[in-house]
Amino acid sequence: MQQEEIWDVDAARGYDTPGTGMFAPEVLGPTVDRLAELAGDGRALEFAIGTGRVAVPLAERGVPVTGIELSPPMIDQLRTKADEATIPVIAGDMATALAPGKYTLVYLVFNTISNLLTQAEQVECFRNAARHLTPGGRFVIELWVPELRKLPPGQQAMVWHCEPGYIGLDTYDVLRQHVVSHHFRFGESKQAQLFRSPHRYIWPTELDLMAQLAGFELETRHADWAGADFTAESRSHVSVYRIPPDPAQPQLPQDFQRAVATAASRPSSQIVPEYLTHRPLP
């Protein structure tokens, strides 16, 4: 099944779940906060922008956002929230499609790089991000950590979530690093709805190598958007990769930039003692 067939009109219409799941404020808020911080005063490009779950609130924060999206129905759904002038979208594959201009940030959230089903396509996605970025620009990926440790020996399927009215089940092909996610939704009747999506899972170290092949360096990796430590038990990660900056343009360390940005929103009396004495200027 091709991605164009998966993300059809029905999938697009049922994708948004305002206030719950991945649209819950406690999920979406930290995502937008971190991306706005990384974009700074520049422009952001979202690969696989979908219905605008992240792009719309990010644009509302004042960050100019452009998107690339393969599915016309998903673009149509986005257009019910923002017009072309507000959030331009290029229809195409995120591994190859080109958006006009340069960006300080390219981002790819909620495991979507795994929708590319070969290693070669995933590497090309990194290269496509690199060609859109200014020197010193960043590529952010949110991705789950493969949970093969939970897969019993000799079995190919694992239930990863179960609640009233919903069961999430994954089937694995460990030879090709493929997994198919099965989402069963049901009510009181005997009938159930099934939505399936194929993925190629990626280990964090493999992701880092893909980044290196495209000219990136790993800058940070956390377990979530709020900055929790990434450990051996983390189920997902938010990885920030960076194109080396122009040597002619000196750069402040990222944690110093973050401190200054945070301080700018506080009363001036708090800025010097709390932030600017943390470390000397380089």
pLDDT in tens, 73-113: 999 999 999 999 999 999 999 999 999 999 999 999 999 99
Q: Does residue 151 or residue 266 have the better pLDDT? A: 151
Residue-averaged pLDDT of the chain: 88
Strands (E), the chain: 44-47, 65-69, 89-91, 103-108, 133-144, 157-163, 166-173, 178-186, 192-200, 217-222, 236-242
Q: Is the pLDDT of residue 257 over 90?
A: no
Query: How confident is the model at residue 22, as a pLDDT?
Result: 84
Where does the pLDDT of residue 280 fall: very low under 50, low under 70, confident under 90, or very high at 90 and above? very low
Question: Pseudo-torsion of CA 263, 267, 271, 272, nearest 10°?
Answer: 160
Q: Is the pLDDT of residue 118 over 80?
A: yes
Q: Is the pLDDT of residue 20 over 60?
A: yes
Q: Which of 48, 37, 52 is nearest to 86 (CA)?
A: 52
In Å, how far from its chain's centre is CA 137?
Answer: 16
Where does the pLDDT of residue 250 fall: very low under 50, low under 70, confident under 90, or very high at 90 and above? low
How much helix, strand and coil, in percent to the nearest 5, is found in the chain? 30, 25, 40
- Sign of the dihedral defined by the CA atoms of residues 205, 207, 210, 216, in that order: negative
Q: What percent of the chain has pLDDT over 90?
A: 70
Query: How confident is the model at residue 10, as a pLDDT?
Result: 82
pTM of this prediction? Answer: 0.84
In the beta sheet, which residues pair with residue 45? 66, 106
Where does the pLDDT of residue 6 fall: very low under 50, low under 70, confident under 90, or very high at 90 and above? confident
Give the residue carrying structure tokens 């009510």: 187
DSSP 229: B
d(CA 127, CA 109) in angstroms, rounded, equals: 17
Where does the pLDDT of residue 48 fall: very low under 50, low under 70, confident under 90, or very high at 90 and above? very high
Q: Is the pLDDT of residue 43 over 90?
A: yes
Query: How confident is the model at residue 190, as a pLDDT?
Result: 87
Average pLDDT rounded to a whole number, residues 34-41: 97
Query: How confident is the model at residue 162, as a pLDDT?
Result: 94
Among 17-21, 122-126, 191-195, whose mean pLDDT is lowest? 17-21
Contacts of 218 (CB under 8 A, 6+ apart): 208, 211, 239, 240, 241
pLDDT in tens, 128-167: 999 999 999 999 999 999 988 888 888 899 898 899 999 9
Q: Is the pLDDT of residue 8 over 80?
A: no
- Give the C-alpha distances (Å, rounded to integers) separating 278 from 128, 254, 272: 37, 13, 9
pLDDT in tens, 174-216: 999 999 999 999 998 989 999 889 999 999 999 999 999 999 9
Average pLDDT rounded to a whole number, residues 16-37: 90
Query: How confident is the model at residue 259, as a pLDDT?
Result: 56
Q: Is the pLDDT of residue 28 over 90?
A: yes
Q: Is the pLDDT of residue 282 over 90?
A: no
Strands (E), 63-125: 65-69, 89-91, 103-108
